[in-house]
Structure formats: structure tokens, C-alpha cells
Chains A and B, each alone.
Chain A
């Protein structure tokens, strides 16, 4: 199996002489099966080289990742997709650094089932950890091979050679050989070696710098940048005809009338799945509106209007023990019991989901913004009855998805329409109300926490229960798509399953990074899903950290200990302590204004999944006691993501996560009556707008040269909501535990006659 030839082995002396830092990326055994995408979706191909880091485990051949042309230009392939998180730029920086080439000399190809390695999903904040690590090492391997080829040519010790940064290997006397020449002398169709020397962080040219994102210039000047911008010759426009939300069905769709509308070329009907196809986009929309003039019925059980997420506590559940530790009975001077909850959320992508599909010559090509093009090409193949190798799925960016929104469904539906109209490219665009109505939501969840402190002011016991559906419902086979239960013959829906630790899903981050004695942490996994749900940024971490960090503040208050000191007293992880202290220092936590009835401060911390990036943040808010509205004046965050590829990219994601989290926590909730979702537009699902954005957000990215990459895309999501609840409690003395913390909820808790300066 191994095709490592003599030229590629590296002995230890050469390693050390190279001066490179070894980057040891070790995964504990249970993590192996969850390598890619954070355990979401299906597992990627079986690992074949367990000794290799990141996605090299499953794709060890170097030429799967890197090709060097005779002119020295490189083409690099990554299985990871640009979702707007800047990953294509960050990964470009990684590979440019380790190949030691200028970024402009590299063509970067992402997530194409016909061209790139299968790295599973782009999700779970794994892109840097898996994809970045793979590219870093693959790049180091190729650089090593090029260097060795030059060394052979010059009869010099490879340890004496360096690379110029411009695409040459250089000898001590100044002689140079270009990468193109060198690559012609060797084959990259070899497997990587485990410890190819990495470049010294002190000599970094690209990594750790803020390379301007490669995609932004087109986005500000109207360049074609999104799947929505694709225009293929003869392309037809399609719209789905459906009831208002998942689990509804139109009783009398006016398909004949729609078919007669101008420009309509086809009406697709397969079982309960219906779509109109027209030459022009506006014609398709008009035909859809005509077709949808119908009452609807609910085909699924009634929605949980009376109890919301608490419905989960009444459904059958499988209990999963997350933590069970016994550290002896300790005296308990105070015990606090609390329940926390969050509603179902919409991903709220600004651009509703869109896909382009073309069935031709017995095959099907899909252009999709799905986070999982590899799962998709297998699942859609099953759906439309083609062999997987005949279905090509090319990731094409769209608006931010933040998890599984409608992207997978719209692509599958486009595929079905395309198969019905072979030879004609089909562009299917979901409408705004269809995105709100049919996309999977972020799981509504409930926690119940009971914790005690002892006379020493430290936690004596910690009991934590969380109820959640699976967050992991990404389609991995045909039955995962909503359309699969509409067409005839259909496919049985996927069986929901939890994601095992260390990633977790409903129990993500329910396992404290803190050191607590006597922990009893359980995940009540509920298979029955009252609403259609799947992954939403940070999965269960959002509510679990909200609960944990809120309870810590409640305990700190009871113990009369400062919230920061209380956390530090229970945290041994040095990097966690470092981000907490750094955020506190930048915020001036020690001198912060104390709660005076209106203004207040709160902090929170989380290490995403306990294996991702560390994030601590503190915020100062002001509560308007007349309206209950919360203004966030300032936020200071400290993030440790290991060696940053693009510090600004990390800061961008963290700022964005903070704002999105504040929006979730203060106003968002999918609404419904018994028969349908009633949040269908931006009026019924309001999100944070400019007037309510914090005054100042400062994100400090910790400098950790050479440390393994840690995923940062989701790291701020949970702490920001928790810090808000803590700041609110500090400001007003009122502890709110059920998101959203709306003005009405704040007012109800304050009581309208409350005096501005309540006694502490």
C-alpha cells in the first residue's frame, strides 16, 4: 500500500537541521471516526495512513492536493468549501507558506467531487484543523521533494538548501532552480511522509499575516461570485410549488393554470413534489404564484405550540452519559437549581438557497453551496437513480449558510428537475418564505442544572441534563432530503443519530472544561423531531455554554466571588486561563462599572467542543428600564486558535459570531401555530439591524506561533449569549434563562414599578 520511496524518507538529523518546527497533530482514537466535518454528515473514505495529519489520513497522495506546472505555477486542491468564512484565503495562505510560493502563483480549487480530495463536510470548525493541517503538511512534503531534487542535481546536502519564496530552491552560492524544472524531474503521485519539516514561524511570509481575501474584490464590484450568478447557455428558471412550511401540502395546486402562463416550458410533478420551469425568472415566479393559490393541509403531527422546546422533555429519549465522576461527598453550603432553554432558530441566510443542475449524457452535474458536496453526490445519485460516479457536485459559493439551511434540498430538487429536462441547465431558486418554511431549523433545547458550592466557595457537585434532537441530519443518503418523502417512489427518512463525543451534538460542550468534582452530565437524545432540524452554527454548544456560564455566575454570586476569579479557581487549562485573563485585562474587568440597575457587565468563556478554539469575552450593556431594550456598549474578546493563518480572518469570524449570537439571544425564535411555521419573512423573524449593533467590538487573536490550527468559526457563538445574560443579571439583578431575552421578557422580569437602584 505504501508507495513511499527512498527519496522521500526523512531522517531525524535532517529534520532538526531543517530548523522546522514539528507539528504533531494527534487525535485520540475516538476522534478518528469523526475526523472530518466535526462528525456531521457521513464519514469520509476510510483512513489509510493513520500516521499522517489532518485529511492526509484519507488522501495521502501528494498529487491529490498539489500539482506544479512546468512554468512553476501551482494548482492546489482542497476538499473544503468557501462559505464566506474566508477559508479559501486562509488555506491559500497555509499552502503558499509551506510551498513557499507567492499566493498569486497558486490556483486554488475547492470542493469538487471530480477534482478535489474528499474531506467530508466543511463544518464543525474543522477546516483549518483537517484541511489546513493537510495542506500544510502536503505543502511541506512537496517542498521537501523539490528541495531533494535540487540537492541531487547539485550534489549538495539538502539541509544546505533553502527556498526563495518566489518559487525557487536556492543553493548557498546563490544558484537557483525553479519549481517547474524541479517538478518535472519527479512524481508527486507518492504518499506524504508524516513529519516533513514545516517552515519556521519566524520566517513566515504569508501565514500569520492579513492577506486580503481573494474573493472580496469581485463581491464589491459586481463580479460573478455566487451560484446565483451562474448563467449557462439555455438555462431555464425553476421554482418549487409547495405549502407554507415543512409538513404541509397544497390540496389543490393550480398546475394547469401555471402551465398556461407565458414562458412556462414545463410543470414537473412527481408525487407531491411540484415545480414550474420557465424561460425567464419573473415568468417562473409568476407561474409559481398562480400554482400556489390553494389551501394547504398539515401532513405531519401538530407543532408544539403550548410547550415549545419543553416538548422534548415529554418525548421518548435515549439517555447518554456524558460525564459521571465521583469525588466523594463534599459539604454543600448552597445549591442552585435552574432550567435554561432556547427556541428553534432559522439560519436566516440573506440569500435564499439556490442551485444549478444539468443532466447530460447520462450524467448529472450539480453546482451547489452545500457544505457537503461529497455526501451530496452520493445521496443525489441514489435519489435520481444514477451511479455515484455519474453525479458531479461542484461547490459554488452562496450567502452564508451557518449550518444546514436549504442548500442540500434545493440542489436535490434541482437535480430531479434537471433529470426530467435533460440537456437543459436548470436554475432553481428557493423563495424567501420557502427558505424560512422548509429549511431545517437550529434545535430548540432545554437544560436543567443543579450545582452546589461548598464553604470554600468552590463547586462541590455539578449535575447537568440536556434535552435535544439530533443536530446531525445532513443528507447522507437519498432519504435525508425533504423531497425524498414527496416523490414516488420515495425514500424512508434518515434515522436521526447523535454525534458521539468528543464532538457531540446536543451535548456539545456539556462536558465542562473546568474541573468540577462530582459531575453527572447526561444528554437526553430525543429522536422524535417536532420541527425539522439540523446543524446550526455551534450546535448544542450555544445552549450548553449559555447554561453553564450562567450557572457559574449564579454560583459566583452566591459565593460572593468575582465571576472571573470563580472561573479561574476551577480552570486548569493554561490556554483557557490565558484567554480569560486577556479578555478581562483588555476590558478592564477589575475596574468595570458595577451593576447600577441599568448598566452592567458580564463575561463568559468556552473552548469550542473542548478541542477547538478558545474564546473568552466580556461585555458592558445598558438596559432601558422603560422598554426592556438592551444596548450593548462594548465587547472585548480574546481568541486562541493556535497558529493563525489569517488573524484578520479569525477576527472577522469572531466579530460576526458575537453579533449573530446577540441577535439569537435577544430576539430570534421560529414561530408557529399548530399547522405551519408562521415566521416567513423578515418582519416575522427579525434579526439584529444596525441600530442595535454594539458600540464597540474588539477581538484580540492570541499569538500562538507554530501551534496546531484550532477551528475558530463557531467559537464566539456560545460565550456571547452567555455573557449577555450575565451582564443583564449584573445590571438589573434579574436572571433570565430562556432565550430570547426580548424587551418584553426583560420588562416582565423587572416589573414596571421597579426602582432604578434596587438593593443588591
Chain B
């Protein structure tokens, strides 16, 4: 669910230039910082029965809030056993095995070793961990919560599975460079409590900035792959999808109230917006299982971050201008009628069942057409409990040009916003991102 999204800059897309810049920055940092961290002695795997049941139960909830299983489970693999490939601009990483297997997992890790990994990004053996593990967020998690997470992980079934070797661009495989990265981007300490805000807001801040690591996708990243703190929640990239801005620039047609966010995060769909798609699917699946109060807290905090968000010209009903769109994008109109209208058109059963119209979908009002492209190319699987919105992928039936035509049509039909530019190239880029490493 996490990937590095570079800032959008044509020049920086050139790999060689980026590499050089990164290495320069990190080398400088590395020279200043001590790169060496000591190993923490291995321990005998603790007896599962030694952990109190209620602590394990809390850890289970925290693991859902942090979505550990999403990155640490391979497609069709055993939960938490790692080996899932994560594509980054720096190469492909494979997630670690979090089960308590002594050889290939964390079975020999003490609680202190686990805490250090989460807060400092250092493995038990002292090596630096790649910030694909978002420890710049996890560093804010309270020790008691980390211990509960530890209890949960250590009581899972051990799975003997070693992850394949990472395939990073050669110099970046040199872990000590990461010390420099951390110096720049890892800021220790708890999430500050704001006494002017409600307890619910503060709880939300703790969850979002910490375990939830929402900024990991929703905040733009700089060259070195660190989050741009001064542009927090201005939007970012994740696994080829565009994570929309969660600040005042959020593109939704209707305001994200705390209630709407709560419904979306809990059920995978908001009747005033759309279904959770791409990487948000697994997030809502996890959040469907955690206590209500935590989801409410997250919703309150995120809704507050979007303060100042305007919903355009105040049009009460979702925009739907088929005649205008057909004039602007006639080829798209034909494709829409045959490919999309069976679900998204007027009189379609999905709409009769109360599913939101496309005029409410943020992916269409987003200045960035990437998520809309991915939804068309890859489809949507029911986000929560395997039951709900299901959209087929069109990657094999529609060409890039045809997807672009459809997108131009829906942009013109369901929004009053200017047309997206360069759609065919954007779709092509999105299709390339879809390919598994």
C-alpha cells in the first residue's frame, strides 16, 4: 500500500539526474551521522501464552489501524509472512516476514528490538530499514501501543518464508545511506496534543500521524522520497494511483463531513462520493474491523484538515450534462454507452440501488486524472468483506486512446471543470504503473 511518489517534474523523471541528486543529499547526510547501530541480542521466541489476551487483542486492533498485513502479505501468501513486492522509483523492495518464525521472521526479536525498528527504522541486527516501512510515522506511536503490537505479532502462527532479495538501483542498496535519509526526514517524538481541540480530534491526530501513516500516500514526496512536511496532505502517489489532497484542495464535489468520512472508511463507500478504490480498498477493509471510536476519531481529524475546502459553485445535485459531453467527446459518448452505462448510466441498476452517481466521484474532479485512469484500467473489487461495489477492468478491452476518450467524456459530463490535458499519455503512464514489478 505504500510506495514512493516523486514530485511531478519532467526533469526529475530522468533517472540519472534523480539518482545523482539523491546520492549527493544522502552522502552529505551520511557523512554527518553515525551510520552504525548496534545489534540487539536475539532472544528465545516468547511463549504465546505469556502475553495477556487483552493486550494481544489491542495489538490486533492496532495492526489493523497500521495496516501491517497489507504490505507484509504477498498476493495469495500467508498473512504477515512478507515477500510482497513494493515498487518504488528506487527499485523493488520485498516486505519482511513479521511472523514469529525464528529464522525468517521476528521470532528472535525482543520487544525493545521491535520498538527500535518502529521508531528508528533499525532492524534487530543493527541494519537500517528502508523507509518503505513508514517509520517516520510509526516513530510517533506510544510505547504501550508498540508493545501491544509486539504481543499480537508474537502470537501469530510462525511461517518459514524468507523474502526474495531486494532489487534496488545499485548504490541505493547500501543501507548506511539511509542514516542520512533519517537525519533529514525522521523526526522522533509523540504527536503533540492540541489542548484547543477535542479529545476525539487528538485521538484522530495520534492515529493518522502515527499508525495510520496517511501522509505516506496523501503527502507529496521530494526527490529523496521523503514527505514534504510543509505540503502535508496536498496529495501524493501510491501504487500508481493518485491519493487526493486531504487539505483544503480536496477535489470532492460534496464536502467530506466527519460522518461521510466515517461511512467511507468503515464501509468502503460513501453515498455522497464513491467507492474506495485501489490502495484505499484494503485500508477500508481494515478499518471496518476496528472500534467505532477510532474510525470516528480519524474521520474527525481528516475532516478538520480539509477545512476551507470549497465544493465549487454550490450546485446541489451532482452535475450530469450528457449533451455537452457528447459534443465535446463524441467518441467517448459512444464508448460510455456500451462500456459504462450498464452500471453508471441513467436507469442502471446500480443507481437504482443508491450507489453514488459519477458526478460525486473525486477521481473525476481531481486535477490529476491518474486515479480515474486506474479505475477504468484495473476496476474495483468490493473493498470490505468481499461484498459491495465491483467494477471490471478495461485494460485489455480498451486501448489507451479509448480510455482517454471515455475520460474526456466523463470529465465533461459529470464536472464543470476544464478538460484534462494530455490524457492519452497519462493513461499510458498509468497502465505502465499497473504492471507488477
Hey, which bits of chain A sit against chain B, CB under 8 A?
244, 288-293, 296, 431-433, 598, 624-627, 667, 671, 676, 678, 680-686, 691, 742-744, 747, 751-757
Contact = CB atoms under 8 A, between A and B. Distances in A.
A683 B389 contact: yes
A600 to B, nearest CB: 14
Nearest to A250: B352
14 contacts: A288-B347, A292-B352, A598-B157, A681-B349, A681-B390, A682-B390, A683-B388, A742-B385, A744-B385, A752-B56, A752-B61, A753-B54, A753-B56, A754-B53
A756 B53 CA distance: 12
Contact of A289 (B48, B348, B388, B389): B348
Interface in B27-48: 48
A684 B341 CA distance: 19
Interface centre among A289, A290, A291, A753 (most CB of B within 10 A): A753
A352 to B, nearest CB: 12
B382 interface: yes
A676 B53 CA distance: 42
B1 interface: no
Contacts of A752: 56-57, 60-61, 152
B346 A756 contact: no
Contact of B346 (A293, A671, A747): A293
A756 B48 CA distance: 8
Contact of A753 (B53, B157, B353, B386): B53
A755 B157 contact: no
Contact of B349 (A244, A667, A754): A244
Nearest to A683: B390
B167 interface: no
Contacts of B305: none
Interface in B283-312: 289
Contacts of A433: 349, 352
B349 A683 contact: no
Contacts, number: 87
Nearest to A742: B385
A755 B352 contact: no
A239 to B, nearest CB: 11
Nearest to B76: A691
Contacts of B155: 753, 755-756
Interface in B105-134: none
Contacts of B387: 667, 671, 683-686
A682 B343 CA distance: 13
Nearest to B285: A627
Interface in B333-374: 341, 345-350, 352-353
B349 A431 contact: yes
B69 to A, nearest CB: 7
> Closest 10 CB pairs between A and B?
A683-B390, A753-B56, A752-B60, A289-B347, A753-B57, A433-B349, A626-B79, A292-B347, A293-B347, A753-B53
Contacts of B348: 289
Contact of B48 (A624, A671, A678, A755): A755
A685 B385 CA distance: 12
Interface residues of B, number: 35
A747 B348 CA distance: 36
A755 B385 contact: no
A588 B352 CA distance: 52
Nearest to B386: A686
Contact of A626 (B49, B53, B80, B388): B80
A445 B304 CA distance: 47
A586 to B, nearest CB: 29
Contacts of B289: 744, 747
A514 B152 CA distance: 45
Given A626-B156, A627-B79, A756-B155, A296 B352 contact: yes
A752 B156 CA distance: 11
Given A678-B353, A683-B390, A753-B54, 17 more contacts: A289-B345, A289-B347, A290-B346, A293-B346, A432-B349, A433-B349, A625-B156, A667-B387, A680-B350, A681-B349, A681-B390, A682-B390, A683-B388, A685-B387, A686-B386, A752-B60, A756-B48
A753 B80 CA distance: 16
Contacts of B352: 244, 292, 296, 433
A496 B239 CA distance: 56
Contact of A743 (B69, B76, B157, B385): B385
Nearest to B348: A289
A416 B359 CA distance: 39
Contacts of A691: 76
Contacts of A431: 349
A290 B348 CA distance: 9
Contact of A751 (B57, B345, B350, B389): B57
A76 to B, nearest CB: 43
A624 B81 CA distance: 13
A293 B352 CA distance: 8
A684 B348 CA distance: 15
A431 to B, nearest CB: 7
Contacts of A678: 353
A433 B352 CA distance: 10
A431 B348 CA distance: 11
B382 A289 contact: no
Nearest to A678: B353
A743 B387 CA distance: 12
Contacts of B345: 289
A671 B267 CA distance: 15
A383 B92 CA distance: 67
Given A296-B352, A598-B157, A753-B60, A667 B346 contact: no
Contacts of B390: 681-683
A441 to B, nearest CB: 17
Contact of A624 (B59, B79, B341, B346): B79
A625 B386 CA distance: 17
A371 B349 CA distance: 28
A625 B159 CA distance: 13
Contacts of B69: 626
A625 B157 contact: yes
Contact of A684 (B49, B53, B388): B388
Nearest to A290: B347
A752 B348 CA distance: 40
Nearest to A254: B347
A158 B377 CA distance: 75
A292 B382 CA distance: 26
B144 to A, nearest CB: 16
A396 B76 CA distance: 41
A256 to B, nearest CB: 14
Nearest to A682: B390
A433 B351 CA distance: 12
Contacts of A292: 347, 352
A756 B347 contact: no
Given A678-B353, A755-B48, A683 B382 contact: yes
Contacts of B55: 753
B401 to A, nearest CB: 24
Contacts of A291: 347
Contacts of B57: 751-753
A684 B79 CA distance: 25
Contacts of A676: 353
A682 B386 CA distance: 10
B232 to A, nearest CB: 32
A432 B48 CA distance: 49
Nearest to B49: A755
Contacts of A686: 382, 386-387
Interface in B4-47: none
A433 B289 CA distance: 29
Nearest to B99: A626
A751 B55 CA distance: 12
Nearest to B73: A626
A109 B59 CA distance: 66
A751 B353 CA distance: 34
A752 B390 CA distance: 28
Contacts of A627: 79
A290 B382 CA distance: 28
